[in-house]
Amino acid sequence: MKKVVSNIIIFAIIIVTVLFVRLFLVGSYRITGISSGNTVKAGDYIFVTKFKNHANRDRNRLTLYKSPLLRDAGKPPLFVGRCIGRPGDVIQMGVEGFRVNGRLLPNAPMMQPVFRIQKNIKQQLLTTMDSLRIPLRDVTEDSVSLSFRMSLREKDLIVNHLSQVVPIEMIHHFPEGYEFVVPAKGKQLILSQTSLMAFSEAILSEVGEAAVIQDGKLFIQGEEKTSYVFKKNYYWILSENETAGIDSRHLGLIPKDRIIGNIWFCWFSKEASRRLTKIP
C-alpha cells in the first residue's frame, strides 16, 4: 500500500512539474501559418521561452503572441513576429520603413498605402500581380474601381511590368512624419487623430463599451478625451514577411498579456538543416 501511495505521489509531482514548465518556463508549438518569414517556417516545431531575465530581453527577439483584436477574444490565432518596440519607444512610420527612437530598422516592412485602379484594367493588373507574386490585400470594389493595399516598391514593380501605362492612384496613406509612443502602464499619452490609428484597439479593449472613437476623436462615456492613461504595457511587433505577414501594422499594439514568449529553438523541421537550431 505504501508503494502505491509513493508511486502516486511521484506521478503527481511529475505531472505538476511538467505543467509548471509548460505554463511558465518553456512551451512547444508548431508553426502553421505561411506568413511568418524565413527564420521559422510552416511545419516547424519550436520551443518558446516564457520566462524573462536580463539576458532574455524582448527587443528584437522573435516572438509568439496571440491576436489582440476584440473579435478574436474567443479563440485568438497565434502570430510570429520580431518585437521592435517596447513601452516608451517612439515609432516612426514612413515610405522607407520604420524607425525606432530615430533609428531606421534594417529590412523593415514598407508602408502599404491604399491604391485605386479603374475596373477595366482589373484582369491585366491581377495577372501581373500573380506573376510577380504580389498578394492582393484588403480589397474593396465599387461599380467603377478596385482598391487594395501594397507597398510603393510593389507599385513600382507592377507599373514596370504592365504592358501599358495605367493610372494607379494612391488614395490613403499615413501622414508624413507620422509617429507615436508605445504605451507604458500608468503613463499618460496625448491623443491625436493619427495616434488613435495605432491606439484604438487597445483603448477599446481596456475601456469597453464606454469608449467610442468617432471622426478621429476618443469619447469615454460621451466626454471627449485628448489624452489617455494606459492600464497595460504594450509592444509593437512586425512580421519578417514584408508582403504577406500579419503584425502590428494590421493588429495594432500588442499588450503584454497577449505575448506568449520568445521563440528560442527549432527542434524539428521538414528541412534537415533547420532541425535542432537556435533561433536568433
Tell me the C-alpha distance between 114 and 152, whole Å.
10
Domain 2-109+176-278: CATH superfamily is: Umud Fragment, subunit A (2.10.109.10)
CA pseudo-torsion sign 245, 180, 60, 153:
positive
CATH of domain 114-172: 3.30.70
- pLDDT score, position 236: 93
The grid cell for 246 is 500579419
Q: If pLDDT is split at 50, 70 and 90, which confidence band does 1 have? A: low
> Which stretch, 38-42, 47-51, 120-124, has highest mean pLDDT?
120-124
Q: If pLDDT is split at 50, 70 and 90, which confidence band does 16 have? A: low
| DSSP label of 274 | G
Tell me the C-alpha distance between 48 and 22, whole Å.
9
Tell me the C-alpha distance between 67 and 87, whole Å.
18
- pLDDT score, position 10: 55
More confident: 71 or 126:
126
Least confident interval from 145-154, 162-171, 249-258: 162-171
Give residue limits of the domains in the chain.
2-109+176-278, 114-172
Nearest by Cα to 144 from 169, 119, 112: 119
Per-residue pLDDT for 272 more than 50?
yes
Check: pTM over 0.95? Answer yes or no: no
CB 215 within 8 A of CB 191: no
Q: If pLDDT is split at 50, 70 and 90, which confidence band does 20 have? A: very low
Burial of 53 (0-12, 13-18, 19+ CB in 10 A): exposed
Mean of the pLDDT values across residues 207-218?
89
Q: Which amino acid is at 162?
A: L
The grid cell for 10 is 511521484
Residue for grid cell 476584440: 70
